[in-house]
Amino acid sequence: MTHRVVVAISGASGAALGVRVLQLLAAAEGVETHLVVSRSAELTLEHEVGPEAIHSLRELADVVHPIDAIGATIASGSFRTSGMIVAPCSMRTLGAIVSSLSDNLLVRTADVHLKERRRLVLLTRETPLHLGHLRAMLAATEMGAIIAPPVPAFYRRPQSVDDIVEATAARAIDLLGIGLDVDSGRWAGLDTERTGLESS
C-alpha cells in the first residue's frame, strides 16, 4: 500500500524541521511525497539551511507543487492522501487555515484535509504566544487539526540541534498514524527499581 503524504513548509523559523520530515518520508518504503513551499519559506530555507536547500528538497519529493497552483491535485478532496504535515507552521499560515482563507495551495490543501477529516499536523512555531495565537490553536484543534509545537524531548537527552530536529520530525510523522518505521522516541518508562522511584 502506498501512502501519499503532503509536506508543507511555511515561512516560520525552523525550516530544518520540514527538511527532515521530507527526508524521513523519502527514505521510507511505500510513501509518495507531495511538497509545497511558501515563498517566505524559500527565504527561510536559504538563510537557515543553506542556498542549496530548496533544490535538495525538490530532488527528494516525488511531486513538487508551486505555492500558487490552486488547481493542483492536492487541492481536491477527491485526491486521497494519508495526511499532511506543515513543518514549521507560521502564525500567518495557522490563521489562514483557521479562517479557511484558501489564498494559496498550502492553505487550500490544509483546508481539504480538514474537510475530508484527514490528519493535519501543524508544527506551530512561535514564542511567546499572545491570546490571538492561542485562540487560533484552539480553533484549529476544534476543526480537527493536531497542534504539535516543536518542543524538544529532553528525556532523550539530545546532544545537538540535529538530535532535536530528528526527534521532532519523527514524532510529526508518527502523528499521521500510518505505521512508518521511524524512531519517534516513544517513552519506555523509568526503571523504578534502578531509580528508587515509586510508581503511583
Q: Is 102 exposed, middle or buried (0-12, 13-18, 19+ CB in 10 A)?
A: middle
Domain range summary for the chain, segments of one domain joined by +: 3-195
Grid coordinates 495557522 are at which residue?
94
Condensed to tens digits (0 to 9), the pLDDT of residues 154-196 reads: 988 999 999 999 999 999 999 999 877 766 667 777 765 555 5
For 3-195, CATH gives 3.40.50.1950
Residue 100: per-residue pLDDT: 96
CB 59 within 8 A of CB 99: no
